[in-house]
Amino acid sequence: MNELLNKFKALQDLHLNIDMTRGKPCKEQLDLSMPMMDVLNSKAELKDSEGFDCRNYGKLDGLKECKKLLADMIEVDDENIIIFGNSSLHVMYECLADSFLYGVLGNTPWSKLDHIKWLCPVPGYDRHFAMCEALGIEMINIPMDSKGPDMDLIEKYIKDPSVKGIWCVPKYSNPDGTTYSEAVVKRFARLKPAAPDFRIYWDNAYSVHHLYEKDQDFLLEIINECKRVGNPDLVYKFTSTSKISFPGSGIAALAASPNNIASIKEHLKYKTIGYDKVNQLRHVRFFKDLNGVKEQMRKHADILRPKFELVNEMLEKELKGIATWTKPKGGYFVSLYVDGKAKEVIDKCKTCGVKLTEAGCAYPYHKDPSNAHIRIAPSYLSLDEIKLAMEVICLAVKIEMAK
């Protein structure tokens, strides 16, 4: 133990300042999209394929070619997609807010109900849970394994009509990197919730975010599966280009059944005249088609892959038998599990200048029942920084687990 503490002291003396809290793309990834800044210059014709001047008001649900691009990306029909602004999180929020204010497809607005519950596969995305908390929705933890959420438990809970939805990040999930198995997606599509206004919020944030082009996870497309089994209105599917082009200056979209899309548009028309079509056109002219997106994602993967491999390498070397962790084939995070010691490890890392997301962040109400989960976000950091951060983390784990 003394040796570990001395080593830790030596790391503390380096006065590190490494922020590993968020899954942000790094500078080199952002640079990949810089040519996009040239595709629309002052000489460009800013008309879409239908002859519409994208600089002016209109086209509430987005440009036809932008719908096609994002629909192809998430494997849905481009008739059943709406292009929004820069944030898929905001689109999810608006779906929730609409449900509270207007109700879902003719059902009672949730603001008129006493109590709304929501299923939350854990660990999950902190911002999903924060949104529920803000809206006063009671969250229920659903454990995840390597195939996805516990479907038995979900099928039990949805018998309660106050359970109105579930968060899912079905591919390279935040933070475990899990992709839901075909059997899990098929059970999702066949859910028969007691609440007619129950919706699966299918946040397909990492649909094309593979680390290994030739060893990708496969995710069954849920909208078509729901349709096929006579459950078409069950799901809202979200995506964005935030981690493809620029976070904050990308394009978000929602896909759903014709019924759901019509209803969402009906409310949307009161909120805005339309989203940023110049930016839609910029994305379409830059990526051209799905192949353009895939090409871009290969470049992202080339930057990210060594970072994820370094994390795994150091965990293998230092923590084998002491802790467990995930080895995702895509997405933005690695989960490290240190049973009963997560808070202690995170606090200890902080004393060494390595900032991790706070303990419990991946759980509703910030309560990790096992105090086990640490979210590792290597994307933003350089390999040198990752190496240092992982040294600190591994050492902190060894010290805390040895106590």
- Based on the shown chain and the rule CB under 8 A, indicate whether residue 131 belongs to the binding site for a second copy: yes
Cα angle for residues 104, 106, 111 (degrees, 5° grid): 55
- Based on the shown chain and the rule CB under 8 A, indicate whether residue 316 belongs to the binding site for a second copy: no
Give the integer Cα–Cα distance in Å for 71 and 66: 8
- Based on the shown chain and the rule CB under 8 A, indicate whether residue 271 belongs to the binding site for a second copy: yes
Give the integer Cα–Cα distance in Å for 109 and 393: 46
| Side-chain half-sphere exposure of 17, counting CA atoms within 13 A | 0
Query: For residues 23 and 177, which CB has a smaller minimum distance to a second copy in the complex?
Result: 23
- Based on the shown chain and the rule CB under 8 A, indicate whether residue 28 belongs to the binding site for a second copy: no
Query: What is the CB neighbour count within 10 angstroms for residue 298?
Result: 12
Q: State which of residues 148, 177, 247, 331 lies at the interface with a second copy (CB under 8 A).
A: 247
18 beta partners:
354
Could you tell me the smallest distance in angstroms from the CB atom of residue 204 to a second copy?
18
- Based on the shown chain and the rule CB under 8 A, indicate whether residue 262 belongs to the binding site for a second copy: no
Sign of CA dihedral 120, 123, 129, 133: positive
Query: For residues 131 and 396, which CB has a smaller minimum distance to a second copy in the complex?
Result: 131
Could you tell me the smallest distance in angstroms from the CB atom of residue 71 to a second copy?
21
- Based on the shown chain and the rule CB under 8 A, indicate whether residue 276 belongs to the binding site for a second copy: yes
Give the integer Cα–Cα distance in Å for 184 and 148: 7
Contact assessment for residue 83 and residue 261, using Cβ atoms and an 8 Å cutoff: no
Q: State which of residues 4, 30, 301, 401 lies at the interface with a second copy (CB under 8 A).
A: 30
Q: 116-128 burial string, b = 16+ CB within 10 Å, else e?
A: bbbbbbbbbbbeb
Could you tell me the smallest distance in angstroms from the CB atom of residue 41 to a second copy?
5
Instruction: Kindly indicate which of the ranges 89-97, 200-208, 222-230, 321-329 contains the residues binding a second copy, using the contact rule CB under 8 A.
Output: 89-97
Q: State which of residues 100, 162, 182, 306 lies at the interface with a second copy (CB under 8 A).
A: 100
Give the integer Cα–Cα distance in Å for 178 and 22: 18
In the chain, the amino acid numbered 393 is I
**What interhelical angle do 126-134 and 88-102 show, nearest 10?**
30
Q: State which of residues 28, 273, 313, 317 lies at the interface with a second copy (CB under 8 A).
A: 273
- Based on the shown chain and the rule CB under 8 A, indicate whether residue 320 belongs to the binding site for a second copy: no
Q: State which of residues 19, 68, 75, 85 lies at the interface with a second copy (CB under 8 A).
A: 85
- Based on the shown chain and the rule CB under 8 A, indicate whether residue 212 belongs to the binding site for a second copy: no
> Position of tokens 């999209």?
33
Give the integer Cα–Cα distance in Å for 57 and 277: 9
- Based on the shown chain and the rule CB under 8 A, indicate whether residue 64 belongs to the binding site for a second copy: no
Instruction: Kindly indicate which of the ranges 25-33, 208-216, 303-311, 323-331 contains the residues binding a second copy, using the contact rule CB under 8 A.
Output: 25-33
- Based on the shown chain and the rule CB under 8 A, indicate whether residue 105 belongs to the binding site for a second copy: no
Give the integer Cα–Cα distance in Å for 46 and 67: 17
Using CB atoms within 10 A of its CB, is residue 186 exposed (0-12), middle (13-18) or buried (19+)? middle
Nearest to 249 by CA among 275, 270, 231, 268: 275
Q: State which of residues 3, 17, 41, 402 lies at the interface with a second copy (CB under 8 A).
A: 41
In the chain, the amino acid numbered 370 is S
Could you tell me the smallest distance in angstroms from the CB atom of residue 313 to a second copy?
27
Instruction: Kindly indicate which of the ranges 56-64, 147-155, 177-185, 307-315 contains the residues binding a second copy, using the contact rule CB under 8 A.
Output: 56-64
Site size for a second copy, by CB under 8 A? 55
Q: How many residues does the chain have?
A: 403
- Based on the shown chain and the rule CB under 8 A, indicate whether residue 89 belongs to the binding site for a second copy: yes
Q: What is the DSSP string of 215-229?
A: S------HHHHHHHT
Instruction: Kindly indicate which of the ranges 129-137, 256-264, 300-308, 318-326 contains the residues binding a second copy, using the contact rule CB under 8 A.
Output: 129-137
- Based on the shown chain and the rule CB under 8 A, indicate whether residue 314 belongs to the binding site for a second copy: no
| Residues at the interface with a second copy (CB under 8 A) | 22, 24-25, 27, 30, 33-38, 40-42, 44, 53-58, 85-87, 89-90, 93, 97, 100-102, 109, 111-112, 127, 130-131, 134-135, 242, 246-249, 267, 270-279
